Every structure is written in C-alpha cells, then in structure tokens.
Amino acid sequence: MNTRTLGPNKLEVSAIGLGCMGMSFGYGPAKDKREMIALIRAAVEQGVTFFDTAEVYGPYTNEELVGEALQPFREEVVIATKFGFNIQDGKMAGLNSRPAHIRKAVEASLKRLRVETIDLLYQHRVDPQVPIEEVAGTVKELIREGKARHFGLSEAGAQTIRRAHAVQPVTALQSEYSLWTRQHEREIIPTIAELGIGLVAYSPLGKGFLTGKMTKDTQLDETDFRRILPRFTPEAMQANRALVELLEKIAHRKNATPAQIALAWVLAKKPWIVPIPGTTKLHRLKENIQAASIELTAAELAEIEVAAREIPIVGRRYPEHIERMTGL
C-alpha cells in the first residue's frame, strides 16, 4: 500500500489505517479476542501500518488487544492512542487532561500496548478546564522522555490547534470526516493545511452507513452507541439514503463498492488525509484496503461534489451533550 506523511515531523503511515475501537467497544458486544488479533495481523500482512486505539475503548481492553496483536510487528507499525477522560467503574466519567492525569494515563497505556514509546499520542477531547498549553507542554515533556513520539489532537477547534501547535508541533488532528460529515472544511482543514498538520479521518464510512448495508429497518444491538445518534433514527437513515445512492452510482461505474468510493473520496481530498475505517470482518478489511488503489478523476470528484450539494444531511452527528465535547 502507498504511504502518506502526517505533520511537520513527517510521520509516515499507510494511506489507509485501521480503527480498532469497534473490536472491543461501541458497536455492540466485544468480539472474540483471538479473531480480532488475527484480523489485526492480517491488516499488517496486507500493508496497513497505522493502528488506532484509546484507553477508553473498553475501557482498556482495546489497547490490550492491539498491544498483543502488534507485539510481533512493533518495528513495522505506528500505534496511536489517546488520553483525556476520567474512567470510573468501567465507564467514562468526564474529561480530565490535567498534567498528572496525562502522565498516569500514558504510563498505563504503555503497559497495555506493550511498547516503550507511543508513536502518536492524542488528547481525545479538549478539556476546557485545562489550558491547551499545559496539555501540549506535558506531551512535549513526554516526547523528550521518550514515552511518545508525536502529538495529536482530536476534534479540536482552530484556535485550540494553533495554541497547542505553538508549544509542541501537532502531527495530526483526528476528527470525523466523510462525505456526510464535512463541517471541518470551513475552518479546521484550512488551518491545519496552513500549519502543515495531517488529518486522520475517523468514521470515514459514516459509522457504517455509507457502506450501503444499513437501512431504516436495520436493528442495532442494545449496546451499539449508534442507537443514540440522531442520524441513525429510521427517519434519518431513510432521508440520508440519497447519499448512499450517489455512492452506489459511482461505484457501479468504477466496478467498486459504495464503501470504496467513500474512502477514495476522502483520500482524494488532500494528500495528507488518512482515513482509519474500522471493521471486525476480514472481507471488509480487504475491501477497505483496496480503496487505496481507486482513483477518482477530477470529473468524478466534481460530479460527486455537485450531487452531494443537493442532498441535505438529516440529523446531527451526535446528541448535543456529546457534541459539546468536540471543542468546535
């Protein structure tokens, strides 16, 4: 697979990474650990070098899974994880990016990941109670100590990014970006383009919706967090089907799948954007990886742009109480 470079410190990763959250958390019950280890290792064998996790995924169990799966390939891969929440009784319990808490979280992540250095260390969500300069300064110290290599932010606003970058160069911003989540194009993407920061696009397949496999009749597991998302009501999914139909139209012409076109679109936007679709299935992993070889022409991109402009997206991406944590 081709590689892409993130940030001023030139972090090289595969053009498509693997988001590992759903293997342990968020999209229904945790999957079989042996099967997920095999899936992660299959991704390495097929050229994926960029793997994403976080302490809150589980909590903790996803980092342990990723650490065990990637231990034999440590020198070949880039592992990204995140800090920034209190965790109590096995659940997220509010934001916490105080310096002492960051250090405690990083020490625990290092053990679970079975590494001496975290390749890319993100603040998971901006903590309004802690100046971003303190956060960036703490990560700067951790980098000097050899406990992290690169600093990242997630779902941060433009001014927060600038302030953090002035203290410790930011390698990547991880934020949701896809054909149905494009608000970052207004201010965030121009800001990181100016600063030379990469974008790691999570949920590039619209949390599964842009694959075309979900309909208004799809029944989600009780533990699937999409049940609380406004875009996943039956009414919203029916209304947003028009976007899937657009992808299906292009996919048919390119002998591809809607998911592959959705990923190819993200890849075509900028050479420093890296999507990290998640999956728990080997055939979906292969399908996603193949998207890296699909090239959308300028005419096709323009066609998608014009058509997408006429499709209003129904539903907020998160409930308001979660949206408030994005820092935008």
- Distance, CA of 14 to CA of 325 (rounded, Å): 29
- Distance, CA of 325 to CA of 305 (rounded, Å): 29
CA distances from 183 to 74, 117, 177, 190 (A): 35, 33, 8, 12
Residue pair 251/260 in contact by the 8 Å Cβ criterion: yes
| Coil, helix or strand at residue 172 | strand
Burial class (CB in 10 A: 0-12, 13-18, 19+), 222: exposed
| Coil, helix or strand at residue 328 | coil
- Distance, CA of 205 to CA of 291 (rounded, Å): 12
Structure letter (DSSP) for residue 211: G
Neighbours of 73 (CB within 10 A): 16
Residue pair 50/77 in contact by the 8 Å Cβ criterion: yes
Residues labelled catalytic: 57
Task: Count Cα atoms within 13 angstroms, Cβ side, for 247.
Answer: 26
Encode 123-135: b = buried (16+ Cβ within 10 Å), e = exposed.
bbbbbeebebeeb
Residue pair 37/305 in contact by the 8 Å Cβ criterion: no
- Distance, CA of 128 to CA of 224 (rounded, Å): 28
Sign of the dihedral defined by the CA atoms of residues 220, 223, 224, 227, in that order: positive
Q: Which two tokens stand for residue 32?
A: 């079989």
